[in-house]
Structure 1
Amino acid sequence: MAISRWALLLVLLIFPFGAFALEPIEVDGRESGDKLTGQSEVWHDPDDSQPLASIVEAYRDGEFGPLLSAGSTGLKKGAFWSHFALRNVTDSPVTLSIEYVDHQLIELSVFQREPGAASGYRPLINLSMNKPFDHRRISHNRFVFPVSLEPRQTREFLVRFSSDGAGFVFPSMRIWNPDTLRSNHTLETGSIAFLFGGFFLMSIFALVGGIATGSRTFYAYSVYALAKIIGWATILGYTHQYLIREDFHWRYMSISGAVTILCGLIFARIFLQTRRYTAKLDYVLLLMMANAGVLLISGLFAIKVLALVTITIALLLYPVTTVVGIVRWRQGSGEAAVFALAWSLLMIGLVVQAFRDLGYVEHNFINYYWPPFSSFTEMLTIMAAIGIKVRRLRQQKLVAEKQYREHLEQSRSELQQLVWARTRELEAAKRLAEVEASTDPLTGIRNRRSFFADAGLYLKLAQRKHQPISLLMFDIDHFKSINDNYGHSVGDEALRSFTRTIFEKTRETDIFGRLGGEEFGLLIAEDAQNARHTAERLRDCIAAIELEAAGCNLQFTSSIGIASWQPGISMETLLKHADRALYEAKRRGRNQVVEYQPETAAVEL
Structure 2
Amino acid sequence: MLPGKNQIPGYLMLLGTLLPAQIFAEPVHLGPDFYFENLRAHCELIIIPASLKTKRPLSIRTIQQRSDWRPCSELSLSRGYSNEVVWLRTRIINDTNLDQILFLESTPPWISEVDVFQVNEKGTILFQRSYGSGRPFYERDFAVPPIYAPITVRQKSTDEVYVRLHSQGSLPINLAIHSTESFEKDRTFWSTFNGILMGGVALLILYNLAVYWSIRDPDYLVYVLFAFWGTLFLGAVYGYNFQFFWPAWPEAHLRITWISIGLGSASMILMARRFLNLKTYMPWAAKGFLVLIYSGLLIAALAWPFAHSRLLQIIANGHGVLSAFLSLGVTGYGVVRKLPGSRIFLGAWLFLLMSLASIGLVNRGVFEFSETLHRAGGFALIANLTLLSFALADKIRQIHREKDRAEERTRRILEASKADLERKVARRTADLEQARQSAEYLASIDVLTGLKNRRALFELGRALLSTSQESESPLTDILLDLDHFKIINDTHGHATGDEVLRTVGGILGDAVDGHDVVGRLGGEEFLILRAGEGMNEASTFAEALREQIDSLGFPVSDGILSTSASFGLADVRKDERLEDVLTRADAALYAAKDQGRNQVVQFGN
- TM-score range relative to shorter protein: 0.5 to 0.7
Give the aligned partner of residue 279 of structure 1.
Answer: 283
Work out whether 1:306 is the aligned partner of 2:342: no
Could you tell me which of 357, 371, 378 is aligned with 2:363? 357
Q: How do 1:571-582 residues align onto structure 2 when only pairs under 5 Å count?
A: none
Cα drift, residue 23 of structure 1: 2.8
**What's the secondary structure of 2:25's corresponding residue?**
coil
Give the aligned partner of residue 35 of structure 1.
Answer: 38
Would the alpha carbon gap of residues 29 and 403 (structure 1) be closer, same or farther in structure 2, given more than 3 Å must change?
A: farther
Moved more, 108-117 or 32-41: 32-41
Contact residue 205 and residue 224 of structure 2 kept, 8 A: yes
| Count of residues paired in the alignment | 470
Cα drift, residue 73 of structure 1: 0.8
Give the aligned partner of residue 26 of structure 1.
Answer: 29
Contact residue 43 and residue 65 of structure 1 kept, 8 A: no
In 1, the alpha carbon distance for the partners of 2:237 and 2:346 equals: 25
In 2, the alpha carbon distance for the partners of 1:296 and 1:505 equals: 42
Contact residue 97 and residue 181 of structure 1 kept, 8 A: yes
Give the aligned partner of residue 385 of structure 1.
Answer: 391
Could you tell me which of 62, 85, 93 is aligned with 1:87? 93
Give the aligned partner of residue 550 of structure 1.
Answer: none
Work out whether 1:157 is the aligned partner of 2:193: no
Letter in 2 for 1:267: M
Cα drift, residue 63 of structure 1: 5.2
Would the alpha carbon gap of residues 8 and 194 (structure 1) be closer, same or farther in structure 2, given more than 3 Å must change?
A: closer
Letter in 2 for 1:44: I
Letter in 2 for 1:309: I
Letter in 1 for 2:58: L
Give the aligned partner of residue 253 of structure 1.
Answer: 257
In 2, the alpha carbon distance for the partners of 1:454 and 1:145 equals: 92
Cα drift, residue 409 of structure 1: 9.6
Would the alpha carbon gap of residues 248 and 568 (structure 1) be closer, same or farther in structure 2, given more than 3 Å must change?
A: closer
Normalising by the residue count of structure 1, what TM-score does the alignment of the two structures yield? 0.66
Give the aligned partner of residue 115 of structure 2.
Answer: 109
Aligned residues with identical type, % of pairs: 16
Deviations 1:388-433 (A, max 9, x none): 2122123234445667888999999xx99xx9xxx9xxx9xx9x97
Contact residue 229 and residue 263 of structure 2 kept, 8 A: yes
**What's the secondary structure of 1:186's corresponding residue?**
helix
In 1, the alpha carbon distance for the partners of 2:415 and 2:318 equals: 61
Would the alpha carbon gap of residues 393 and 445 (structure 1) be closer, same or farther in structure 2, given more than 3 Å must change?
A: closer
Contact residue 235 and residue 257 of structure 1 kept, 8 A: no
Letter in 1 for 2:213: I
Deviations 1:249-298 (A, max 9, x none): 21121122322222222111111112321233334433443443343133
Cα drift, residue 316 of structure 1: 3.2
Letter in 1 for 2:38: K
Would the alpha carbon gap of residues 381 and 112 (structure 1) be closer, same or farther in structure 2, given more than 3 Å must change?
A: same
In 2, the alpha carbon distance for the partners of 1:161 and 1:453 equals: 85
**What's the secondary structure of 2:111's corresponding residue?**
coil
Contact residue 110 and residue 124 of structure 1 kept, 8 A: yes
Would the alpha carbon gap of residues 450 and 124 (structure 1) be closer, same or farther in structure 2, given more than 3 Å must change?
A: farther
Contact residue 110 and residue 132 of structure 2 kept, 8 A: no
Gaps of 5+ in 2: 1-11, 426-436, 453-501, 513-517, 529-535, 554-559, 570-585, 599-605
In 2, the alpha carbon distance for the partners of 1:188 and 1:434 equals: 76
Letter in 1 for 2:199: G
Deviations 1:315-371 (A, max 9, x none): 431222111101011112151122111111220231132222222223212210111
Letter in 2 for 1:316: V
**What's the secondary structure of 2:167's corresponding residue?**
strand
**What's the secondary structure of 1:52's corresponding residue?**
coil
Give the aligned partner of residue 264 of structure 1.
Answer: 268
**What's the secondary structure of 1:76's corresponding residue?**
coil
**What's the secondary structure of 2:248's corresponding residue?**
coil
Contact residue 520 and residue 526 of structure 2 kept, 8 A: no
Q: How do 1:588-599 residues align onto structure 2 when only pairs under 5 Å count?
A: none
Letter in 1 for 2:306: A
In 1, the alpha carbon distance for the partners of 2:402 and 2:16 equals: 85
Normalising by the residue count of structure 2, what TM-score does the alignment of the two structures yield? 0.66
Contact residue 42 and residue 65 of structure 1 kept, 8 A: no
Letter in 1 for 2:347: L
Work out whether 1:293 is the aligned partner of 2:297: yes
Deviations 1:35-78 (A, max 9, x none): 22556423233143343348735862325454655530122123
Gaps of 5+ in 1: 13-17, 460-502, 527-564, 580-605
Letter in 1 for 2:164: R
Letter in 1 for 2:49: D
Moved more, 286-295 or 89-98: 286-295
Give the aligned partner of residue 198 of structure 1.
Answer: 200
Letter in 2 for 1:72: S
Letter in 1 for 2:80: G
Give the aligned partner of residue 479 of structure 1.
Answer: none
Cα drift, residue 101 of structure 1: 1.9
**What's the secondary structure of 1:21's corresponding residue?**
coil
Work out whether 1:214 is the aligned partner of 2:216: yes
**What's the secondary structure of 1:276's corresponding residue?**
helix
Would the alpha carbon gap of residues 516 and 173 (structure 1) be closer, same or farther in structure 2, given more than 3 Å must change?
A: same
Could you tell me which of 168, 171, 174 is aligned with 2:173? 171
Would the alpha carbon gap of residues 509 and 352 (structure 1) be closer, same or farther in structure 2, given more than 3 Å must change?
A: farther
Contact residue 69 and residue 359 of structure 1 kept, 8 A: no
In 1, the alpha carbon distance for the partners of 2:551 and 2:522 equals: 12
Q: How do 1:131-530 residues align onto structure 2 when only pairs under 5 Å count?
A: 131-164=135-168, 167-249=169-251, 250-304=254-308, 305-317=310-322, 318-399=324-405, 437-438=503-504, 456=525, 507-510=540-543, 511-512=546-547, 513-514=549-550, 516-517=552-553, 521=564, 523=566
Deviations 1:138-185 (A, max 9, x none): 222122211110012211122111113xx3223330211234223222
In 2, the alpha carbon distance for the partners of 1:402 and 1:516 equals: 39
Would the alpha carbon gap of residues 229 and 308 (structure 1) be closer, same or farther in structure 2, given more than 3 Å must change?
A: same
In 2, the alpha carbon distance for the partners of 1:155 and 1:138 equals: 23
In 2, the alpha carbon distance for the partners of 1:395 and 1:386 equals: 14
In 2, the alpha carbon distance for the partners of 1:89 and 1:8 equals: 31
